[in-house]
Amino acid sequence: SGGGRTTSTTTMRVGGGGGGGGRYRAANGGKQMTRHDTDHEYVFREESYFHYVFGNTRYSDCYGAVSLPDGRTTLFVPTWGVEVSTICGPCPNLDDVRDELGIDGVMRVEDMASYIDDAMTEMGRRRRRRGGAMSRTTAATVGGEITDDGDGGCETMSVPPPSPPCDDVPDDRPRLYLLRGLNTDSGNYASPAYYAGIEKYDDVRDEVTLFECIAECRVTKSTAEIELMRYTNWMSSMAHVEVMRYVKPGMMEYQLESLFQHHTYTYGGCRHMSYTCICACGPNSNILHYGHAGRPNSGRALTNDDMALLDMGAEYHCYASDITCSYPVRGTFTNDQRCIYESVLAAQVCVLGRLRPGVSWVDMHRIAEGEILRGLMRCGVLRAPDDEISDYDDDDDDDDAIIGKMIESDLGAVFMPHGLGHLIGIDTHDVGGYAPGTPVRSDRPGLKKLRTARILGAGMVITVEPGCYFIDPLLDMALLHEGQRTFINVSRLNEFRGFGGIRLEDNVCITEDGCENLTQCPRAVEEVLDVMSGGVWPPTKDIMPGMKRAWSVCKGGKMRMLPLPILGM
């Protein structure tokens, strides 16, 4: 059933203006998509807002409604004729769908318009009986558009322009909420619902409130949602370990992706990936989203000197995981590889040790930048400026002062040109990052790449993914930047051109008094090398308690927590 049905309904009651009175909303699910102009259909995946409220229907073109006062849910499923049933299987049985999703009632899509009309009429009648002002009667419709096609089915129509909140709704009329809003990651809008006859409610439409309400609800995960994300993280972590065991020079990048997908699908039932897999080795690892349309997987063969950066995560019941591992293809680190790796790892551990409710995500990003810059000083890539070398003493206080100046010059964004992490849940880049009432996006290099600037709260799940990259265009620009060049040891920097990049990414749940790392991948150098040489995983002892990993095992499809002794304790 929908993980956020109760939460979002309760929030709409509060946000909608008070107690009883028959407030109501409706929603539509995802559409079946095809490849360009062909009849090739992609595997259906439910629309995220619809899934949050109604659950994973497995059927496209569904609609749903919720009575806000009592939480009663009604799902509308399409009718399939004989021809469609021959191709796609039997038409969904209403009782079976109701029982599977825990829905109170299930009807056919063609009955939705009359159902909404009847509900709106009844709401208005109740309000008049109560004197009109006792509560704000509302209704809502989320996304998409339908109309009768004359044969008991539905077809799409153009979406009308957005409507602002209606502040002058007559007391005896219910308000109709439609979901429309901007996704701050994609720049795309969620389309409001439309069906033939909805125009009669134009004067009571609100296309703002519902989107903001549900997006905010999705930011804080329920216990059930977190448990699902534990599973996706466990399965994806074990798949990363499997790839780590098999990687060797001469393999192709796409073979690493294939191994990961095979493991999560075969052993975890994860048909979908959360996003396009990034299997970048050697110089390709400085391409942040390698594998996408801009730079598709080139089929490069791994070499003995490569670092592999593998950013892959499986999805289960629409809940995402987003995990990145980096390690040497040869099975041992060179001195330079280890120096950069441990700089990134130090940034991750430093952030994990500070995560708790009330912490600013912007501050965490700056802390991660500082640790990576500190590591680059240890590697000899960065240094004190020429005019301060004579006074520089290699101690923590002087390092902190120099690193502060580096951050102020935006040098951190040269080596980590992305945000520290993002909210994750039903979507990999989950909604709510820059919701109304939250801190706005910075225009500073590095900080403007953050997908949220929120103050963290318990129940949020966020990725922690520091990285260090040597990207030629950014390095060249830094050398032309007077305020940044002064910190760079040019000859040493040039030794890292072609190195690529290293990123480590875990999915972390904010708890009441700290955080729980849902990801269970090898992170310490010793752990990575041990797994690559055939060592057991999960380990018998935790040598990195600072990673905050919540150890668990899965047997017979059921997970249980597995406390590990801390080494030396």
Question: What angle, 0 to 180 degrees and rounded to 10, lies between the N-to-C axes of helices 525-532 and 335-352?
Answer: 120
Between CA 423 and CA 462 the distance in angstroms is: 4
Burial profile 201-233: b = 16 or more Cβ within 10 angstroms, e = fewer: beebbbbbbbbbbbbbbbbbbeeebbebbbbbb
Q: Are 552 and 234 in contact (CB under 8 A)?
A: yes
The 10 Å Cβ neighbour count of residue 75 is 26
Distances from the Cα of 261 to the Cα of 235, 252, 292, angstroms: 11, 15, 17
Distances from the Cα of 67 to the Cα of 46, 47, 109, 119, 233, angstroms: 22, 21, 17, 9, 35
The alpha helices in 451-534, defined as continuous H runs, are 472-480, 482-485, 490-494, 525-532
Overall CATH class of domain 223-561: alpha beta
Cα-Cα-Cα-Cα dihedral sign, residues 85, 89, 93, 94: negative
Torsion of CA 528, 529, 531, 536, to 10 degrees: -110
Output the pLDDT for position 300: 86
Sort residue 318 into left (φ over 0), alpha (ψ -120 to 50) or beta. Answer: left
Name, in order, each residue with C-beta under 8 angstroms of 478's C-beta and a sequence gap of 6 or more: 411, 414, 484, 485, 488
Query: For 5-219, which CATH superfamily applies?
Result: Creatinase/prolidase N-terminal domain (3.40.350.10)
Q: Residue-wise pLDDT tens for the chain (569 aa)?
A: 666 666 666 565 555 443 334 455 656 678 888 888 888 888 889 899 989 988 878 888 888 887 777 778 889 999 989 998 999 899 989 999 999 999 999 999 999 899 988 888 887 787 777 665 433 434 444 433 333 333 333 333 333 334 555 556 565 677 788 878 889 889 888 887 777 888 888 888 888 888 899 999 999 999 999 999 999 999 999 999 999 999 999 999 999 999 999 999 999 999 999 999 999 999 999 999 999 877 777 778 999 999 999 999 999 999 999 999 999 999 999 999 999 999 999 999 999 999 999 999 999 999 999 999 999 999 999 999 977 765 666 666 778 999 999 999 999 999 999 999 999 999 999 999 999 999 999 999 999 999 999 999 999 999 999 999 999 999 999 999 999 999 999 999 999 999 999 999 999 999 999 999 999 999 999 999 999 999 999 999 999 999 999 988 766 666 666 666 655 43
Output the pLDDT for position 230: 96
Helix (H, G, I), strand (E, B) or coil at 107: strand
Give CATH 3.40.350.10 domain extents, the chain: 5-219
List, in sequence order, every beta strand (DSSP E) within 72-129: 73-77, 105-108
The 10 Å Cβ neighbour count of residue 266 is 10
Q: Are 403 and 374 in contact (CB under 8 A)?
A: yes
Output the pLDDT for position 126: 78
The 10 Å Cβ neighbour count of residue 175 is 24
Name, in order, each residue with C-beta under 8 angstroms of 494's C-beta and a sequence gap of 6 or more: none
* DSSP bridge partners of 64: 27, 75
Question: What angle, 0 to 180 degrees and rounded to 10, lies between the N-to-C axes of helices 396-408 and 361-378?
Answer: 120
Output the pLDDT for position 149: 34
Between CA 365 and CA 453 the distance in angstroms is: 10
Between CA 189 and CA 286 the distance in angstroms is: 31
Query: Of the candidates 541, 462, 471, which has an alpha carbon nearest to the alpha carbon of residue 500?
Result: 471
Which pairs count as long-range contacts for 400-407, CB under 8 Å and 24+ apart, including other chains?
A: 402/377, 402/487, 403/370, 403/373, 403/374, 403/377, 404/370, 405/487, 406/373, 406/382, 406/484, 406/487, 407/366, 407/369, 407/370, 407/373
* DSSP bridge partners of 220: none
Place of tokens 């704000």: 136
Query: Of the candidates 512, 481, 4, which has an alpha carbon nearest to the alpha carbon of residue 216?
Result: 4
Which two structure tokens, joined as six digits, stand for 484? 């940044």
Q: Are 301 and 251 in contact (CB under 8 A)?
A: yes
Cα-Cα-Cα-Cα dihedral sign, residues 331, 334, 339, 344: negative
Give CATH 3.90.230.10 domain extents, the chain: 223-561
Output the pLDDT for position 123: 78
* DSSP bridge partners of 27: 64, 142
Name, in order, each residue with C-beta under 8 angstroms of 437's C-beta and a sequence gap of 6 or more: none
Query: Of the candidates 323, 23, 67, 394, which has an alpha carbon nearest to the alpha carbon of residue 174?
Result: 23
Between CA 142 and CA 137 the distance in angstroms is: 17
Which two structure tokens, joined as six digits, stand for 143? 């996304």
Output the pLDDT for position 192: 78
Environment class of 196 (CB within 10 Å of its CB; exposed 0-12, middle 13-18, buried 19+): middle
Between CA 17 and CA 450 the distance in angstroms is: 34
Length of the chain: 569
